[in-house]
């Protein structure tokens, strides 16, 4: 965690981020209840070949809230604004959970800026199968109640279902994740973000169908929350997409399976760049 930094962006808001490596740029997009540190093991596995950047979404972790909405389209626009702030002309995107949808929408909306997109274990299709936990959290009244009054239960349940039993979370990382998630302003923003996502989810396939860059879909078979139907239906919508299934893996692939995940992404980028 020594590489964690903060930066004041042109809009005046502070962004917390980690940035290292050299080569073509890959930007990693997290979900919740974690922060950007969930990507560090995968970034370390890829930094000899790529410049890697990850940040706490505005409003989450240690980054300040931006004015405006919180739909996948708004967050996709923010990716490009952050790229501009770091003087990144083009980038590969990697997103999981609630970072997956903005990655895909960004690829559709900014084809000259996004070289490829990789998505893992995300709520991509509004009517595809999810776990009962996700079903309840998509009920906005219940979402606000759980996040406002039962954050520790939400956090504990996430850890219990996002990780394989053989891959317990590092205690230091767990402490940092909880320190951010327990902040009331962060949970209020997450609830607002869930509202924005839920409203725009039915419209996202129209964006997916516009994607022209290569797309890699990595899905863990043991993922408890998002059925592989999400991946298959994305394959049907995106002509440039391909699917890799991972055995014996958890929701947080970049954290618990960094070497294997890095191999998938590096091979994908290498083949598509030829």
In this predicted model, what pLDDT tens digit does every residue of 160-172 receive, in sequence order?
A: 888 866 667 889 9
Please tell us whether the domain made up of 4-272 is placed in CATH 3.40.50.1820. Answer: yes
Residue 150 to residues 29, 38, 130, 182, 270, Cα–Cα distance (Å): 25, 22, 21, 10, 44
Per DSSP, helices labelled H in the chain are 40-46, 72-85, 100-109, 132-137, 140-149, 151-162, 171-181, 184-200, 204-208, 229-237, 253-256, 258-272
Written as one string, the DSSP assignment of 243-266 is EEEETT--S-HHHHSHHHHHHHHH
pTM: 0.97
Domain ranges across the chain: 4-272
In this predicted model, what pLDDT tens digit does every residue of 109-120 receive, in sequence order?
A: 999 999 999 999
The reported pLDDT for the residue numbered 250 is 84
Say if residues 222 and 245 touch (Cβ distance below 8 Å).
no
How far is Cα 144 from Cα 101, in angstroms, rounded to an integer?
A: 21
Handedness of CA 101, 102, 103, 109 (dihedral sign): positive
Strand order in the sheet with 14-21: 4-8, 14-21, 50-55, 24-29, 91-96, 114-120, 215-220, 241-246
Say if residues 119 and 218 touch (Cβ distance below 8 Å).
yes
Task: Give me the tens of pLDDT residue by residue for the chain, a chain 274 residues long.
Answer: 668 999 999 999 999 999 999 999 999 999 999 999 999 999 999 999 999 999 999 999 999 999 999 999 999 999 999 999 999 999 999 999 999 999 999 999 999 999 999 999 999 999 999 999 999 999 989 999 999 999 999 999 999 888 866 667 889 999 999 999 999 999 999 999 999 999 999 999 999 999 999 999 999 987 889 999 999 999 999 999 999 999 877 899 999 899 999 999 999 998 866 5
- Distance linking the first and last C-alpha atoms of the chain: 35
């Amino acid at each position: 965690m020594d590489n964690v930094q903060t930066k004041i962006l042109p809009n005046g808001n502070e962004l917390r981020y980690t940035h290292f490596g050299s080569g073509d740029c890959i930007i990693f997009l997290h979900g919740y209840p974690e922060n950007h540190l969930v990507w560090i093991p995968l970034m370390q596995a890829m930094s000899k070949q790529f410049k890697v950047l990850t940040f706490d979404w505005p409003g989450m972790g240690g980054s300040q809230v931006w004015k405006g909405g919180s739909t996948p389209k708004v967050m996709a626009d923010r990716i490009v604004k952050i790229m501009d702030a770091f003087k990144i002309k083009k980038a590969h995107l990697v997103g999981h959970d609630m970072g997956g949808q903005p990655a895909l929408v960004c690829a559709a909306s900014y084809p000259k800026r996004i070289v490829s997109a990789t998505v893992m274990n995300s709520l991509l299709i509004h009517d595809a199968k999810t776990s009962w936990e996700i079903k309840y959290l998509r009920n906005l009244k219940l979402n606000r109640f759980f996040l406002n009054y039962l954050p520790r239960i939400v956090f504990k349940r996430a850890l219990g279902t996002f990780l394989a039993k053989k891959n317990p979370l590092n205690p230091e990382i767990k402490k940092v994740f909880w320190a951010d998630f327990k902040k009331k302003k962060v949970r209020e923003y997450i609830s607002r973000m869930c509202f924005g996502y839920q409203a725009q989810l039915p419209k996202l396939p129209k964006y997916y169908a516009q994607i022209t860059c290569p797309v890699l879909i990595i899905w863990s078979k043991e993922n408890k929350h998002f059925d592989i139907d999400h991946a298959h239906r994305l394959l049907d919508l995106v002509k440039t997409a391909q699917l890799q299934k991972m055995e014996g893996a958890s929701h947080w692939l970049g954290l618990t399976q960094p070497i294997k995940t890095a191999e998938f992404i590096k091979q994908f980028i290498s083949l598509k760049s030829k």
